[in-house]
Structure 1
Amino acid sequence: MSTMKAAVLVAPGRFEVSDVPMPEIGPDEVLIWVERCGICGTDVHIFNGHYSAHNLPLIPGHELAGTIAGLGENVTGLEIGRKAVVDINFGCGNCFYCRRNEILNCASVEQLGIGRDGAFAEFVSVPQRHVITAPDDVPFEILALVEPVACVVRATRKANVGIGQSAVVLGAGPIGNMHIQLLRLAGAAPVVVLEANPYRAELAVAAGADAVVSDALELKAVVSDLTDGRGADVAVECVGIPELYRLAFDVIRPGGHVSAFGLAAEGESHSLPLLETVLRENSLKGSVAGMGQDMHDALVLLRHGRLRTDAFTGSAIGIDRIQTAFEGNDMPSGQLKMSVVMDSAAVSA
């Protein structure tokens, strides 16, 4: 094969599904036949022109699961036909940041589907050291969740959540729902969620939220009541709205922590009350992507059923319908996430 089908984002808001050249495989690279690729909130930001617009035209897509289809001449230890997922953050592998698994800060970092062509395509080539083989008994729809779950694994680690610590999750979309579940796995209690959308609020309860609040004006009082007046140990912002970041600081206790996860628009900011932050010994830490061991741990959690995945795996579309999917017209009831399947004929209408 010299060409493959791919969804190319040629301009903000406009995909073209067409035949494009097959990716070349370098001597240390692996060719992955993409079976399924989830649509991420970051992909939506790229589609809307809010993020990575300078990289267009681009094949987005980074939440991939597939099968090894080709091996570079220097590749060892991998076999064609094995299921695989991909650690999508490609650093130099040698610098201070790469050695510390802080690859996003590497001066030469590239992210699959964000800074280089990704997985809304039949095939993608990646460095061997970023390929993680997966057991045959884990279905592709579950494997496509490894990358987003890894992002939440990393954020939960950075938040240093312990058993019996209280947590607030601001926004219960796909990533917020995963945060609810990972916080519970880490031992957080209670887990309080702010979500105005009734159907997402219902799914948050199913994911294990102890309380769901629809009105931001009521959140602080609910958190105070559930934490003996202290406030939450941790608040996770999952939406990327400055007002919610301000609310996150309002609902944490003295000595509490804000986990910054939601992608705000470029140039948006939150004014931090410095004296209050110092005197209360509050903290803020950003986290956006899973990498390295985060990916392996996410695969273990998913393989052994530690997360409820039914709201993430029940909706798939063929690549030919990707424009409609990104325009927001295809999400069925009871689902938080949609995936793209390369073989459109394999997806029921």
Structure 2
Amino acid sequence: MSEMQAAILAAPGTIRIDRVAVPTAGAGEVLVKLEGCGVCASSLEPWAGNEWIHYPGDAGGLGHEGWGVIEALGPDVADLAVGDRVAALSYKSFAEYDVARADAVVRLPASLAGQPFPGEPLGCAMNIFRRSDITAGQTVAIVGIGFLGAVLTRLATDAGARIIAISRRESSLALAREYGAAETIAMNDHYAIIEQVKALTGGTLCDRVIEAVGKQWPLDLAGELVREGGKLIVAGYHQDGPRQVNMQMWNWKGIDVINAHERDPAVALRGMREAVDAVASGRIDPRPLYTHRFPLDQLGAALDGTRDKPDDMVKALVLFP
């Protein structure tokens, strides 16, 4: 094919589907015929409109959770083959094809055939889990149970930790219980939540608290729930402006604060490889989290759902025929 369909963010709140040239794999690159791409909450700020975003965007832009089959190899690619099914770290995957560096894809084993595999967010979960330093016997609060929070609940439970899941929707709390949470608390009253966690921990609060929402109030709450000498892990993607923190409390408690976002591609790839192993082995099963599926021409509806979170939505995928 010389042309493909690609989604373009034409203006805030407006997606246009154009026919554009299929990209060519350059030296050290592969061309991936995409099967699908996950929809990430980090796309919501450009979708809403920001003064620092330029419109229209690139063809396929915003899509960075793609997986598919290698269609062509560029020069100097030795360890991959046409037909390999892969998850890719590439960034224009709301399109039928995308190009990725050969060292930025992870092969998917035959045991995952037919399964969606948005490798980038699954890899993020593995990296956050590693940074969180969770061990058996700890009490871990996870604030915000969406896709990321649910996967982290499973990983932390599997490590032998006791999980207190805190989230807004009852469906999210039910999901947390399915993925192993020992306790669940509705996120509706700041001080009541603190008292509930104190009651559950004998007043000591939590060894680890993972904030997975990306908003000011959940960050404030997470800081309150960490015990003295514990660790606060910021997994939420805070991209809508500055945050204020209670540094007096953080200092007094002597907590460690970890920004669990990675920018080193090698670290991201390590997380993706770990995710492949975890899913293939059955350690985690993300399939129940892929609750909504859309064709490319309904990407706008997928972004709206990711923003508005109807009660049964966890993760939206855009799938290609």
- Taking structure 2 as the reference length, what is the TM-score of the superposition? 0.90
Specify the alignment match of 1:336 in structure 2: 314
State the alpha-carbon separation in 2 of the partners of residues 269 and 11 from structure 1.
27
Unaligned runs of 5+ in 2: none
Alignment counterpart, residue 315 of structure 1, candidates 292, 296, 315: 292
Cα RMSD after superposing both structures = 2.2
- Deviation digits for residues 167-196 of structure 1 (CA, Å, limit 9, x no counterpart): 11111122221221222123211x112112
CA drift of 1:279 comes to 4.0
| Higher alpha-carbon deviation: 34-43 or 213-222 | 213-222
Specify the alignment match of 1:79 in structure 2: 81
Contact kept? 2:9, 2:55, Cα under 8 Å: no
Specify the alignment match of 2:275 in structure 1: 298
Specify the alignment match of 2:137 in structure 1: 164
Specify the alignment match of 1:240 in structure 2: 214
Specify the alignment match of 1:92 in structure 2: none
Residues 1:62 and 2:72 aligned together: no
The letter of the residue matching 2:24 is: E
Alignment counterpart, residue 168 of structure 2, candidates 196, 204, 208: 196
Specify the alignment match of 2:36 in structure 1: 36
Alignment counterpart, residue 231 of structure 2, candidates 238, 257, 273: 257
The letter of the residue matching 1:14 is: T
Residues 1:128 and 2:128 aligned together: no
Q: How many residues are aligned here?
A: 312
CA drift of 1:31 comes to 0.3
CA drift of 1:331 comes to 7.5
Contact kept? 1:180, 1:208, Cα under 8 Å: yes
State the alpha-carbon separation in 1 of the partners of residues 209 and 50 from structure 2.
25
Contact kept? 1:171, 1:195, Cα under 8 Å: yes
State the alpha-carbon separation in 2 of the partners of residues 287 and 302 from structure 1.
21
Specify the alignment match of 1:138 in structure 2: 112
CA drift of 1:314 comes to 4.4
SS of 1:53's partner is coil
Contact kept? 1:12, 1:53, Cα under 8 Å: no
State the alpha-carbon separation in 2 of the partners of residues 22 and 174 from structure 1.
31
Residues 1:227 and 2:188 aligned together: no
CA drift of 1:222 comes to 2.0
State the alpha-carbon separation in 2 of the partners of residues 51 and 7 from structure 1.
21
| Higher alpha-carbon deviation: 305-314 or 65-74 | 305-314
CA drift of 1:291 comes to 0.4
- Deviation digits for residues 274-322 of structure 1 (CA, Å, limit 9, x no counterpart): 4x43343211111234603111101100111111324323432211211
- Deviation digits for residues 141-174 of structure 1 (CA, Å, limit 9, x no counterpart): 3422x32121011111111111111111111122
The letter of the residue matching 2:237 is: L
Contact kept? 2:11, 2:55, Cα under 8 Å: no
Specify the alignment match of 1:273 in structure 2: 247
Change (3 A) 1:333 1:193: closer
State the alpha-carbon separation in 2 of the partners of residues 312 and 133 from structure 1.
22
State the alpha-carbon separation in 2 of the partners of residues 227 and 331 from structure 1.
31
| Matched ranges for 1:212-223 at <5 A | 212-214=184-186, 215=188, 216-223=190-197
State the alpha-carbon separation in 2 of the partners of residues 16 and 327 from structure 1.
15
The letter of the residue matching 1:200 is: S
Specify the alignment match of 1:177 in structure 2: 150
Unaligned runs of 5+ in 1: 89-111, 344-349
Change (3 A) 1:54 1:187: farther
SS of 1:42's partner is helix
Specify the alignment match of 1:208 in structure 2: 180
State the alpha-carbon separation in 2 of the partners of residues 342 and 331 from structure 1.
23
Change (3 A) 1:5 1:186: same
Q: Taking every aligned residue pair, what percent have the same amino acid on both sides?
A: 25
- Taking structure 1 as the reference length, what is the TM-score of the superposition? 0.83
- Deviation digits for residues 213-245 of structure 1 (CA, Å, limit 9, x no counterpart): 113332212221222211101111111111221
Change (3 A) 1:121 1:156: same
State the alpha-carbon separation in 1 of the partners of residues 50 and 289 from structure 2.
24
Contact kept? 2:136, 2:159, Cα under 8 Å: yes
- Deviation digits for residues 53-101 of structure 1 (CA, Å, limit 9, x no counterpart): 2475132211111001000121112111111111x2xxxxxxxxxxxxx
State the alpha-carbon separation in 2 of the partners of residues 212 and 304 from structure 1.
27
State the alpha-carbon separation in 1 of the partners of residues 216 and 311 from structure 2.
29
State the alpha-carbon separation in 1 of the partners of residues 114 and 270 from structure 2.
20
Change (3 A) 1:331 1:167: closer
Contact kept? 2:144, 2:166, Cα under 8 Å: yes
Specify the alignment match of 1:11 in structure 2: 11
